[in-house]
A and B are shown apart, each in its own frame.
Chain A
């Protein structure tokens, strides 16, 4: 079973700043099998990034994903007020298709 560990658990930043979120896998994951989601309170998650680095439809270009093997990163270049939310990574390399525990991005 592949375990995903996200860090930090909580990230406190101000609008306009850059956010860097980490997702580390317990074993190597194909880049094509890593996705990132955003979830706001009371809402279903939304797909942000698939294949580790491709933006989903309608996702602004301030969101970018990178990484390979066991280390993946979600970067938000300049935070907008609507970006403060919880972010999850997920792997599809092998069942169970686990999520990371999430990173909460909060306004400083």
Chain B
């Protein structure tokens, strides 16, 4: 069964750091049919694309709102995607989803259940 499971969310003070994880199963993590993304959704708001890592890990793009503060990475031996978030701000409060981009479809066909990050003092 193809599945993504996020973890690592919680309450953190402004300026602090947090690492999110996304464990993938049921598909080949390094297949170049897929790219892996993070998308977030602030409470009561719409979806915001955050970042992507290419199938070979060499290409990474970021939304301007997180550039220089967030880093996407992966561990292929563990089939796990990461999002390292530094210098967190109140406006980073959101549910964070990892999502699989299927290049044969051109869409996010698999989503995790999301993990909540709350930045508050």
A, B: real partners: yes
Instruction: Evaluate contact between A35 and B112: CB separation under 8 angstroms.
Output: no
Instruction: Evaluate contact between A44 and B46: CB separation under 8 angstroms.
Output: no
Instruction: Evaluate contact between B109 and A56: CB separation under 8 angstroms.
Output: yes
Question: What A residues does B106 contact at CB under 8 A?
Answer: 32-33, 35, 50-51, 92
Q: Does B27 contact A (CB under 8 A)?
A: no
How far in angstroms is the closest Cβ of chain A from B60?
10
Closest to A102 in B: B46
A90-B49, A92-B101 known; A97 and B37 CB under 8 Å?
A: yes
Question: What A residues does B108 contact at CB under 8 A?
Answer: 35, 37, 45, 47, 90
For B, the interface residue count at a CB cutoff of 8 angstroms equals 21
Q: Which 9 A-B pairs have the closest CB atoms?
A: A50-B107, A35-B107, A44-B111, A95-B61, A50-B105, A99-B47, A102-B46, A97-B49, A47-B107
Instruction: Evaluate contact between B114 and A96: CB separation under 8 angstroms.
Output: no
Question: What are 10 pairs between A and B in contact, CB < 8 Å?
Answer: A32-B106, A39-B47, A47-B109, A50-B106, A51-B105, A51-B107, A56-B105, A92-B101, A95-B52, A95-B61
Q: Does B34 contact A (CB under 8 A)?
A: no
Q: Does B63 contact A (CB under 8 A)?
A: yes
Q: Does A54 contact B (CB under 8 A)?
A: yes
How far in angstroms is the closest Cβ of chain A from B121?
27
